[in-house]
């Protein structure tokens, strides 16, 4: 059985546990192999190199883009990476080799960035293309660092390991992402070695340009499809559960045994990515199941995401949502009976590269829920200039998801549970497919609503 396995950044930072729980575990010598591990950068490293994913705090890339002192910022990151290396000496990381590798890689990156800065200063090349190249270069460093270290640790623990550097840092060959993956893996005997591959892959299309911060899962997906893996496994620091344990408590957060790709897509749409949607599609089309496991509970079988799974029971599997959204309502008396009125709204959203999460309509009003970060003054102003009345309200969205919820009474139970606890539903959406009931509520009721719906709808086992 050949598996391709992705290890997230938080898990990578605790590589002692990865080594014990995932790579070695209870396996004998024979069972160690036929596995390809696609690794993320250690927790926080990509934030240092680019920008903080959640807060937007600038990293090296931002300093390069603004023409400030990115060389000093690179040196600061290198110092942090060298310090991080020291935390793995107890599990036999060869510190001298690890320090040489990352120091040399950072020097190369510095030289590349200096050359790009010189070209940028001439004004002969488009600024956007230079910045995209800089972003690709910086993004690749974190995964190369963690992958080199991981392969070195395995070798020093008596396990045959092969470091596959898909970042193409020293390879000028002009290859697509798929071509680079194929070329890098085609001559490896997976039965005799554990492959540690970088989550970043260099390609002519630019993996950051295409997928931004979801690139490591895209690499993972492409490798699994290329090798026709029997299973694709994602190791995270938590279970895929009925609700966020930080909100409902660990004791009330039930690990989901099975679900399907449709539900995984719905989760991604509200920001809770079991897997990046652009990574899941190729796996779904190739009929490869995904298993999500908790790194720190290796005995637990985890959650299997498959193409055609439907629960035998009428059952809500997951309660999710976000309190970082806004509702924008367009009200216009001229909307009644006017064919294509909403196309005007969609054209504006497309112009600003904005995707909505929920849409609810009646005769003369259209409500759309967007990410708060996307509701910038420019788009709001254009909407207000074009339409009769525009209302913007900070809200929350809570969702009840499941593979088998198209049954009478489930929607009623959800709405009743909210009503009984004095939570008003401001807008609601559910498609004919009936895998996702979406409720728009007051933002201050978000965590309360998650707890209520988890208690009311998710089966305790």
For residues 323 and 432, membership in a common domain is answered with yes
Q: What is the CA radius of gyration of the chain?
A: 24
Q: Is residue 256 part of a domain?
A: no
Q: Is residue 311 part of a domain?
A: no
- 285's CB contacts (< 8 A; 6+ apart) are none
For residues 57 and 180, membership in a common domain is answered with yes
Is residue 162 classed as helix, strand or coil in its secondary structure?
strand
Last residue in a domain, options 191, 219, 237: 237
Of 359, 401, 354, nearest to 379 (Cα)? 354
Question: Residue 461 has what pLDDT?
Answer: 43
Helices 261-269 & 277-285 angle (0-180, nearest 10): 170
Q: Is residue 306 part of a domain?
A: no
Enumerate residue ranges in the chain where pLDDT < 70: 26, 28-30, 273, 459-461
Question: Residue 209 has what pLDDT?
Answer: 85
CA distance 392 to 375: 9
Report the percentage of the chain scoring pLDDT > 70.
98
Last residue in a domain, options 237, 265, 287: 237
For residues 233 and 338, membership in a common domain is answered with no
Q: Is residue 417 part of a domain?
A: yes
For residues 21 and 137, membership in a common domain is answered with yes
CA distance 137 to 167: 8
Question: Residue 92 has what pLDDT?
Answer: 97
H or E segment and range at residue 3: strand 3-7
Our count of domains for the chain comes to: 2
Which CATH number do you get for residue 91?
3.40.1160.10
For residues 98 and 219, membership in a common domain is answered with yes
Question: Residue 274 has what pLDDT?
Answer: 75
For residues 31 and 164, membership in a common domain is answered with yes
Q: What range does the domain containing 335 cover?
A: 318-457
Last residue in a domain, options 208, 237, 266: 237
What Cα–Cα distance (Å) separates residue 429 from each residue in 234, 267, 358, 426?
31, 15, 7, 11
Of 266, 211, 222, 259, nearest to 239 (Cα)? 259
Q: Is residue 245 part of a domain?
A: no
For residues 209 and 350, membership in a common domain is answered with no
| Block residue for tokens 């190249």 | 133
H or E segment and range at residue 342: helix 341-351
For residues 181 and 324, membership in a common domain is answered with no
For residues 326 and 450, membership in a common domain is answered with yes
CA distance 184 to 165: 8
Is residue 195 classed as helix, strand or coil in its secondary structure?
strand
Record the tokens describing residue 147, joined without a space. 């992958």
Q: Is residue 404 part of a domain?
A: yes
Q: Which of 345-366 are b and which e, b meaning 16 or more Cβ less than 10 Å from the residue's Cβ? A: beeebeeeebebbbebeeebeb
Record the tokens describing residue 427, joined without a space. 């807008």
Q: Is residue 295 part of a domain?
A: no
For residues 216 and 109, membership in a common domain is answered with yes
Which CATH number do you get for residue 428?
3.30.2130.10
Phi first, then psi: give them for residue 456, nearest 5 degrees.
Answer: -80, -30
For residues 161 and 47, membership in a common domain is answered with yes
pTM, to two decimals: 0.90
Of 88, 84, 101, nearest to 44 (Cα)? 84
């Amino acid at each position: 059985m050949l598996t391709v396995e992705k290890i997230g950044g938080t898990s990578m930072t605790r590589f002692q546990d990865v080594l014990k729980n995932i790579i070695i575990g209870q396996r004998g010598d024979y069972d160690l192999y036929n596995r390809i591990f696609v690794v993320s950068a250690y927790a926080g490293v990509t934030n240092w190199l680019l920008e903080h994913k959640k807060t937007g705090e600038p990293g090296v890339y931002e300093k390069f883009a603004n023409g400030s002192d990115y060389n000093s910022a690179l040196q600061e990151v290198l110092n942090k990476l060298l310090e991080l290396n020291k935390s793995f000496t107890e599990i036999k990381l060869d510190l001298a080799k690890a320090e040489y590798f990352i120091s040399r890689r950072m020097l190369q990156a510095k030289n590349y960035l200096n050359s790009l800065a010189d070209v940028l200063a001439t004004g002969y090349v488009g600024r956007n293309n230079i910045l995209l190249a800089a972003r690709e270069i910086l993004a690749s460093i974190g995964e190369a660092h963690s992958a080199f270290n991981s392969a070195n640790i395995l070798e020093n623990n008596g396990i045959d390991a092969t470091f596959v550097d898909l970042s193409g840092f020293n390879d000028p060959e002009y290859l697509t992402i798929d071509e680079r993956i194929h070329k890098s893996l085609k001559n490896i005997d997976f039965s005799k070695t554990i492959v540690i591959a970088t989550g970043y892959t260099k390609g002519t299309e630019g993996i950051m340009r295409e997928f931004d911060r979801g690139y490591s899962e895209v690499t993972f997906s492409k490798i699994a499809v290329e090798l026709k893996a029997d299973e694709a496994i994602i190791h995270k620091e938590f279970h895929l559960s009925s609700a966020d344990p930080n909100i409902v408590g660990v004791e009330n957060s039930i690990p989901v045994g099975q679900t399907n790709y449709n539900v995984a897509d719905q989760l991604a749409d509200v920001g809770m990515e079991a897997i990046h949607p652009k990574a899941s599609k190729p796996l779904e089309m190739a009929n490869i199941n995904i298993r999500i496991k908790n790194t720190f509970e290796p005995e637990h079988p985890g959650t299997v995401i498959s193409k055609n799974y439907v629960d035998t029971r009428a059952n809500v599997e997951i309660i999710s949502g976000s309190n970082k959204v806004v509702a924008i309502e367009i009200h216009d008396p001229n909307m009644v009976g006017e064919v294509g009125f909403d196309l005007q709204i969609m054209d504006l959203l497309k112009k600003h590269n904005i995707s909505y999460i929920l849409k609810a309509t009646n005769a003369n009003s259209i409500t759309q829920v967007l990410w708060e970060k996307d509701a910038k003054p420019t788009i709001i102003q254009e909407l207000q200039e074009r339409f009769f009345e525009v209302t913007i309200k900070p809200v929350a969205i809570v969702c009840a998801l499941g593979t088998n919820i198209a049954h009478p009474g489930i929607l009623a139970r959800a709405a009743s549970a909210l009503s009984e606890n004095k939570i008003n539903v401001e807008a609601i959406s559910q498609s004919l497919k009936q895998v996702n009931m979406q409720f728009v509520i007051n933002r201050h009721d978000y965590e309360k609503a998650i707890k209520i719906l988890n208690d009311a709808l998710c089966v305790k086992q």
